[in-house]
Structure 1
Amino acid sequence: MIEVTASLPRGPVFLAGEIIHCDIVFINGVKTEQVSKNEVDCLAWASVQVICQCTVSDSRVQLPRSQLLSAEDASTSGGETSFVPNKGERGLTVLTTKPKILFCDLKLQPGEMRHFVFEDTIPTDAPPSFRGQAVKYSYKIIIGTQRFEHPTKLLRIPFRVMVLYGLNDISVYNESGEFPPSNPFLKRKENSLLDVALQVLSTVTARKSPHSYNITNAKGKVARFLMFKQAYKLGEDIVGIFDFTDGTVPCVQYSVTLQSEEQIAEECRRKASQGVAVTSYVKHQEMCLHTLKSSINIPLPLTAAPGFITDIVCLRWRLHFEFVTSCEPIEGPMRPTNPDENVTWRGPPTVNVETMVWDLPIKVFPPNPLHASSVTLMRTSSSIRV
């Protein structure tokens, strides 16, 4: 009996365009004292491939017929002894890398071990990993192997892919000369794609000039909202400040909810009038009557997907605000004449209020893949027996 073990040494999270490394070990687990020395175990072949499966909700998404036919052909081709990486997988295969053969006719003595390293580049135009309400993209490394005169066995290692657009042209993010020109007389060090990506992320998500928004309704000004930036990485905190000092409309309560919008492409919608699917993550709610200033601190979950767009779905992020305002002025507590004197204020038993909503779009980018790997629930190793 040969045991096949595969692991991802760097973790299960990668950026599109990176090289993924997978360690694969084949061990003949039979003890030497149980068999004769001349008896060996043999595998006919082993092959490795990366695939991305897309599953959709039939009630919301209608895929083009050409894609459905190609998916059916891929799932039904081959037999028990051929390498079909998407065999048993659900949905549409939207990406497959070229299969790489590890070996042919591998013979292992009892207790012997052979180690192989699989490396492949994740295409830069690959869709990101995503688990939405209507669409799901999932990645796996598929390892197939077979004994002589036995069916093929598959070992699957799931991993996560995030996309940072424009890595091939950094000038896309160079709005004000953040990337200075390099000295042509110095020996240039070739940076890896991850180094370039981290440089881009630190630049586009850095604090620049603050953004100020006046929140008003038909009766006047409610508050002023201040944000230090509009672009964030997953794992960062969204920090904002409400200033009610110059407000003419009393605000009794406000709430801020972090939400993502999942919008299906028009040609893939099951119904023409189909709306946007909204997912809420974190909510901050606070009473603010007679408050001069208030702040919010909303964390972006590392397990979520950054904003992206594919042929089927587009994901955007926003902050959803709800303000409960009073229709009439509300008298506050009187200031005591003596500084040492305490004053008790009792609010009115009933307040005539109205609610107003506001959506503020924000940009959400991928984090450092190493940071995302530390919180993911995906397993980094798996094994089977052949």
Structure 2
Amino acid sequence: MIEVVASMARGPVFLAGEVLECLITFTNPMSHLSTSASSEVLAWASAQIHCQFHASDSRVALPAQGTKQDVQAESDTVLIPSRGERGQCVLDTPPKILFCDLRLDPGESKTYSYSEVVPTDGPPSFRGQAVKYVYKLTIGCQRVNSPIKLLRVPFRVLVLHGMPEPPFPQDEEVAPSNPFLEEEEGSRRDTRPLERALDMLMITTSRRCPYMFNITNMRGKVAKFCIFKTVYRLGEDIIGTFNFSEGDIPCLQVQDVFEHVHQVWQTWWIHSKFEQNGETLLVLLLESFYPA
């Protein structure tokens, strides 16, 4: 028996374009004092990232696709990261070999480092009632003449559209060579996508411009609602004002509700309650106005 442990030092959330790093440890847990202890041999191990798409059968009707063989023979050495998963694999990275022909004595363990850039052309992680996009790091290993064993590590991916690229991608070539700064420069390069994302979020969420919305019903105008910006950070207070002085109808009660709406393309509808769009929106619903 061999134990496999995967650890992501950065945590389970990444931006698209960031480098995902994972330490993978293979251990032979048998004690060398045990009478049945023996060395364990793995033929190979590899790892890769894949994104799995799943749609609710009761809500979404996806176009038919050709049948795919998902059967893996015991002697097959081809890694299929989505084997046994529900839904469709919409994105996967090339597999990277961690080792070949690894022998572990009783009580011995070895750790390998896996790194891969999270693809920028994939969808963000999402768990809705109609559809789900789930990212996983799949680690596969196999003994000779034995089936492949898989370890799946889920993580989340955030996609920021419009994030600027670095102005000088070739700065590594023109930078002065200094062996004493190698580790510092390497760590600085790893944080660049995150720094650019934070800068973009700060700029976007700091823009203030009043947005006016007229609230009306069949009998006329009820009130005017003003919100000072439409993009917010998580945890930030949303401040708006209601102006009833210009209303034609008195209002007795105000209730505001935030709702996360996931909309599906009309051609994939099963129930008519879905609207024709393919975006995920955050909308503010103003309801329960009771005119006198």
TM range (shorter): 0.7 to 0.9
The within-5 A match list for 1:190-269 is: 192-217=192-217, 221-269=221-269
The within-5 A match list for 1:165-204 is: 165-168=161-164, 192-204=192-204
Higher mean alpha-carbon deviation, 216-225 vs 201-210, is at 216-225
Aligned-pair distance for 1:326?
2.6
SS state at 2:200 partner: helix
Give the equivalent residue in structure 2 for 1:80. 74
Aligned-pair distance for 1:42?
1.1
Give the equivalent residue in structure 1 for 2:287. 322
Amino acid at match of 1:96: D
Aligned-pair distance for 1:44?
0.8
SS state at 1:324 partner: coil
Q: Contact (CA 8 Å) 2:137, 2:154: kept in 1 or not?
A: yes
Amino acid at match of 1:255: Q
% identity of equivalent residues: 46
Aligned-pair distance for 1:169?
5.6
The within-5 A match list for 1:10-25 is: 10-25=10-25
The yes-or-no answer on 1:102 pairing with 2:102 is no
2:273 and 2:35 map into 1 onto residues whose CA distance is 66
Amino acid at match of 2:254: Y
Give the equivalent residue in structure 1 for 2:128. 132
Q: Give deviations 1:253-300, integer Å, cap 9, x for gaps.
A: 0111111222212343347x55339xxxxxxxxxxxxxxxxxxxxxxx
Sort the Cα spacing of 1:164 and 1:130 in 2 relative to 1 into closer, same or farther, 3 A: same
SS state at 2:161 partner: coil
2:158 and 2:59 map into 1 onto residues whose CA distance is 24
Give the equivalent residue in structure 1 for 2:52. 53
Sort the Cα spacing of 1:36 and 1:132 in 2 relative to 1 into closer, same or farther, 3 A: closer
Aligned-pair distance for 1:27?
1.1
Aligned-pair distance for 1:89?
0.3
Aligned-pair distance for 1:166?
1.7
SS state at 1:257 partner: strand
Aligned-pair distance for 1:233?
2.7
Sort the Cα spacing of 1:170 and 1:258 in 2 relative to 1 into closer, same or farther, 3 A: farther
Q: Which runs of 5+ in 1 are unaligned?
A: 172-186, 278-308, 328-386
Q: Which runs of 5+ in 2 are unaligned?
A: 168-175, 177-187
Give the equivalent residue in structure 1 for 2:170. none
TM-score scaled by length of structure 1: 0.63
Give the equivalent residue in structure 2 for 1:43. 42
Q: Contact (CA 8 Å) 1:77, 1:84: kept in 2 or not?
A: no
2:273 and 2:224 map into 1 onto residues whose CA distance is 34
Q: Contact (CA 8 Å) 2:223, 2:246: kept in 1 or not?
A: yes
Q: Give deviations 1:320-351, integer Å, cap 9, x for gaps.
A: 00142333xxxxxxxxxxxxxxxxxxxxxxxx
Greater strand share, structure number? 1
Give the equivalent residue in structure 2 for 1:349. none
Q: Contact (CA 8 Å) 1:249, 1:325: kept in 2 or not?
A: no
SS state at 2:133 partner: strand
1:33 and 1:160 map into 2 onto residues whose CA distance is 42
The within-5 A match list for 1:354-373 is: none
CA RMSD of aligned residues (A): 2.8
2:222 and 2:57 map into 1 onto residues whose CA distance is 44
Give the equivalent residue in structure 2 for 1:381. none
Total equivalences in the alignment = 271
Q: Contact (CA 8 Å) 2:43, 2:100: kept in 1 or not?
A: yes
Q: Contact (CA 8 Å) 1:261, 1:276: kept in 2 or not?
A: no
Higher mean alpha-carbon deviation, 158-167 vs 190-199, is at 190-199
SS state at 2:202 partner: helix
2:218 and 2:12 map into 1 onto residues whose CA distance is 51
Amino acid at match of 1:80: E
Aligned-pair distance for 1:244?
3.4
The yes-or-no answer on 1:155 pairing with 2:120 is no
Higher mean alpha-carbon deviation, 53-62 vs 198-207, is at 53-62
2:54 and 2:217 map into 1 onto residues whose CA distance is 43
1:100 and 1:276 map into 2 onto residues whose CA distance is 41
The yes-or-no answer on 1:2 pairing with 2:2 is yes
SS state at 1:76 partner: coil
Q: Which has the larger radius of gyration?
A: 1
SS state at 2:198 partner: helix
2:90 and 2:202 map into 1 onto residues whose CA distance is 31
Aligned-pair distance for 1:13?
1.1
Higher mean alpha-carbon deviation, 238-247 vs 99-108, is at 238-247
SS state at 2:194 partner: helix
The yes-or-no answer on 1:112 pairing with 2:90 is no
Sort the Cα spacing of 1:36 and 1:262 in 2 relative to 1 into closer, same or farther, 3 A: closer
Q: Contact (CA 8 Å) 1:251, 1:323: kept in 2 or not?
A: no
Sort the Cα spacing of 1:62 and 1:36 in 2 relative to 1 into closer, same or farther, 3 A: closer
Sort the Cα spacing of 1:170 and 1:192 in 2 relative to 1 into closer, same or farther, 3 A: closer
2:165 and 2:97 map into 1 onto residues whose CA distance is 33
